Structures are given as structure tokens and as C-alpha cells.
Amino acid sequence: MNLTDWIGFVGVSLILLAYILNVTNKISNTHVAFILLNFIGASSACLASILLNYWPFIILEGVWALVSLLTLFRYRKLK
């Protein structure tokens, strides 16, 4: 595996970890850890997709990261 693969692998793993923790009721989808895992994971997966020049996932992960970032800002305002 090259560096791009590792970046993508880590990103997708973080997104999956957030999902697994949520569906097993370990964290809620409003918990800051869930939001951060999604933001960091989607940003990493987006970066890997950019390095691969694969537009469908650049768009998917870019939007996912943006929504997570906006949610993080909203979460911070509420606290």
C-alpha cells in the first residue's frame, strides 16, 4: 500500500468507527467525538480521493467533511 492508500484507509476507518459507535449506542450522533471522527475521516478520505483524482468520492467526502465541519461549529456555539 502506498501513502494515498493509507490516508484513504485511515479516513474510511474513522468514518466506520463513528458509525459503529453510534449504532451500538456508545456515542450519539450529536456527541463531539462522533462529529470529529466524521470530519477527520471524511477529510482524509477526500484528500486520498484528490490524490487519486477520483471525482465521485472527492464530491462525496468533501460534502461529508463540510457538513461535519459546519456541525462542529454549531456544536461549539451551543456550548
pLDDT score, position 79: 66
Note the pTM of the prediction, 2 decimals: 0.93
pLDDT surpasses 80 at 60: yes
The number of distinct structural domains making up the chain is: 1
The residue segments making up the domain with residue 25 are 3-78
Provide the grid cell at 77.
Answer: 456555539
Do 48 and 8 contact (CB within 8 A), yes or no? Answer: yes
Q: At 67, is the pLDDT very low, low, confident or very high (cuts 50, 70, 90)?
A: very high
